[in-house]
Amino acid sequence: MSKNPLPTPSAHNKEPVRGVWLATVSRLDWPPVSSVNVSSAATRVSLQKRALTDKLDKLKSLGINTVFFQVKPDGTALWASKILPWSDMLTGKIGQDPGYDPLQFMLDEAHKRGMKVHAWLNPYRVSVNTKPSTVTELNSTLSLQPASVFVLHRDWIRTAGDRFVLDPGIPQARDWITSIVAEVVAHYPVDGVQFDDYFYAETPGSSLNDSLTFQKYGQGFASKADWRRHNTQQLIEQVSRTIKQINSNVEFGVSPAGVWRNVSHDPAGSQTQGAAAYDEAYADTRRWVQQGLLDYIAPQLYWPFARKAARYDVLANWWANVVKPTHTRLYIGIALYKVGEPSKNEPDWMINGGVPELKKQLDLNESVPQINGTILFRENYLNQPQTQQAVNYLKQRWGN
C-alpha cells in the first residue's frame, strides 16, 4: 500500500482546506435577524455588510481559508439572479432587492483577505415550511421578474419533510437547477460550487409523493429506488459537465451524509449502522467519486471516535480509501455544533470543552494523505460560549 496520494493536476502545492459553512437558511449564521427589522434600507445594508466583514475577519484570524457560503437556501437567491427571486432572508420579503449583491460582496471581501468562496446551493428545496402564510408569500411573487418556481412551475412542486421541494424525477426541474448553477459560475468569480446532502429529503411522516412521476419516467428501472438514484446521478452529471464547460477552474463538490452504505447492506460499505445516503437520500456518492464527476467530496462525519454506530475514524478511513485511486479530493465535515453540548450518546464533546475530541479528529485528518482538509459546521458556532475552548484551540493550531 503506497502512502503517497496519486499526483493530480491540481492538488499539488495546495494548502489543505480549512473551511467553514456559512448558512443563510432561516438566517442561521447570517444575516443578523436584527438587520432585517430596521426601517431604513441603507442601515440594513450597512449592518449586513458589517456583520459579514466582521465574520470574515474572525475567520481569517482563526486560519480559515475557505468559506462555503449558502447562496441558494431554498427557491430564492442571494445574488442578482434572472432565474430566482431575491431571498427574503435579506429583507423579510421574497423578491425585494436588498440594495446590494451579497454574493459579489462576499467574493470581494473574502478574496481581499486571501480566502476562497464556494457557492453552496441547496438544489431542490423551495421553502422551509408549508404554512399558509408561506403559500401566500410564494403566490404573491407571480407579478415579479423573476417569479418563484412555486408559481411558474406548480407541477414540479411536491411536499417532503414538511417543506415544498422540487420533484427530482422531472427532467425539466433538473435542467432548471443546472441553469441556476450555470448562472452563478458564468457571472461570479466563485472558487467552487457545492451541493449539500438534500437530494431526496423525506421524513417518515412526510414522504415525497412521486408515484405519477415514476409512472411517467421510470420505465426500465427495477425499482423506484434505482430510478431515484438515477435521477440524482443525472443531476450530478449535468451540473458537473456544465460547470466545466463554463469555467474548468471552478471546483464542483458535494457534501453528503457521512455514510454511503452500511456493510450490512453492501460489502463495499462501511462498518457503521447509520442513515445511508445511498438508501435514504438516493445518492450514490461513492460512484460520483469513482466516475470523476466531483473535484472534491466533503462527507459530514458528525460523530466522535467513540460513537460505535458511526465511528469518526472508521468513516474517515473508509472515505480515504474511496478517493485513493481517483483524482477527487476529500475534505471532512466535522461537527462544531456538537462541541460543548451535553449528549448521552456522545459525551466526548463535553470533555475539556470538546478539545481532546477535536484534536483527535484534526490529527487524523492531517495524518491520512488522502484527506485534503476539514470543514466546520457551522460558522455561528464559533461565536457560542460552549465552543470557546475549542475555538481557542483552533486558533492556536490554524491561526496566522
Residue 153: what residue type? H
Look at the domain 20-398 and name its fold: TIM Barrel (3.20.20)
Q: Judge whether 183 and 82 are in contact, CB under 8 Å.
A: yes
Contacts 24+ apart (CB under 8 A), 41-46: 41/99, 42/99, 44/91, 44/98, 44/99, 45/98, 45/99, 45/100
Strand 192-195 and strand 116-121: the pairing is parallel
pLDDT tens over the chain, length 400 residues: 444 444 444 444 579 999 999 999 999 999 999 999 999 999 999 999 999 999 999 999 999 999 999 999 999 999 999 999 999 999 999 999 999 999 999 999 999 999 999 999 999 999 999 999 999 999 999 999 999 999 999 999 999 999 999 999 999 999 999 999 999 999 999 999 999 999 999 999 999 999 999 999 999 999 999 999 999 999 999 999 999 999 999 999 999 999 999 999 999 999 999 899 999 999 999 999 999 999 999 999 999 999 999 999 999 999 999 999 999 999 999 999 999 999 999 999 999 999 999 999 999 999 999 999 999 999 999 999 999 999 999 999 999 7
Q: What does 103-123 look like in DSSP terms, one character per residue?
A: HHHHHHHHHHTT-EEEEEE-S
Q: Which of 293, 188, 159 is nearest to 233 (CA)?
A: 293
140 Cβ partners below 8 Å, 6+ apart? 94
Strand segments, DSSP code E, in the chain are 17-22, 66-72, 116-121, 157-160, 163-166, 192-195, 251-254, 296-297, 329-334, 371-376
Report the alpha-carbon distance of residue 103 to residue 105 in Å, rounded: 5
Q: What are the b/e assignments for 226-251, b being 16+ CB within 10 Å?
A: ebbbbbbbbbbebbbebbeeeeeebb
Residue spans of the domains in the chain: they are 20-398
54 Cβ partners below 8 Å, 6+ apart? none
Strand 157-160 and strand 163-166: the pairing is antiparallel
